[in-house]
A and B are shown apart, each in its own frame.
Chain A
């Protein structure tokens, strides 16, 4: 099957709510995805708390490329392609660490980010035999590590984009920013103020990466797959269920999406006041008290400001977050049409008492990740949905995304947002529609008409 750009409108038919299984299993589509989506979109690469000191580095991934996230001695954060310019060897094979230079083990080329030594971060500084063998004719400035042209530190989360012509991160994010911020901010409402608990979970799942992106963009409908853990009850207040409820009073999570941008969340509609207080973490008095205190502080700090509260959300294409319990960031790296590598970072308030961080961490590990009682069941569903969609006959039949089609309505106060109530497939349609636009090779002026008009 040869896939041409004009085919995506048929593969992803938002009008009828039918999406071809090919986009989850096809090798050709996967290869185009790496070019059209991952080489163009803004991608999460890490968090500043993973590289707190000068010369710290953390090895990350963008699409199917290994990259190094580094902090230089001038405190600037860079993203460099982790491949020697001479023969391609990985210049850094550690997950994290601290170094003044990345030296290639193969022929010894070395690269530096120190602004006093080099004009451009990642520039080539050492070449064995530079005088004798290269006769000083090698242009070192031209052969530095490939540097990602666009990098943004947003409240500690680090985002990067390979496409020089891409819109700014904030235009790309639009008003979805509010929901992302509700996950990134300190629980007392202070901007940022969160840190990643040491260690990043990384695991392989033989499923298409889009299953995960769809799952977190606002899929209340799959709650039923977690019934076993709900029966056991692992929530921080005891009893059945797997977490504390989202809120008390008139507010509840609804599915809010941004059709022109491809992002979406399962969160509260925007408002100008805090929801009423209700106790959470009731099995852990000290933690319950902490969350009461930060609730009061937030209420005072934000006053009558505009705000949202968020559950899960997805930033197109492959980043998701959870803003409540457990609070996490996730990336779904493409490995193949039916394989991904999932990464999870757990967030806590940087200045929370250790006992609070401990309780949150234990809860997060009990809930999330490959060993989590909740998430282990998601992996089973995503894997066997991918597998059973590979069949010749199966591929002829689209997935059904018809729930709530045509019922979404605008959200007051959020630019370009719609909401489809508590349970709808609106956000999945938004995600795949955006994906199809990227895959059709549309230009940025077509992809971002509001910004470029």
Chain B
């Protein structure tokens, strides 16, 4: 096990957003998190990546408690995030956005400017343009490339397909085997249940800050997932 959360209870001030969430990730494994809006998926990602801080032992990475560390420190340990809405730096060019991903951690692995451009050739064409001048799908490629540049051991994808055209989503999922070819583990937050079940070897469904269902996709029937996704009333 490379990463796990243990009874994670994240809060925004007085507002409790997560109520004892336990998830775990094996090296090289893809886990996806599904759930409706407000289920706590983004809070979970923010807690793992250190944007939200918690009790130390609530997040454990390679056997070490990291729940209380700031985001900068967690990134340097090898967990990179592709944030919701891409969050590229508008003042930086495409290439600078990629470079900034590696300035504080090069890591050891195959990813550098050259290999990221080989993965997404279109980025190389636009390398000196401002990053936010590109299309949504291309921006998502930059965000993924930027996270890869540090050669992370775990990649977090928050709302990976939100706001993207179906054809772009297919393109990005098609690149996933290459993205994770070095045994990089990934946690993917995905709105599209079918897509999430296809790509992952283990799925967690969240509702109201708790895990309502988990299991390997093959073991989960459609009706069970729907019930866990929308709550018992649905």
A and B from one complex:
no
Binding site for B on A (CB under 8 A): none
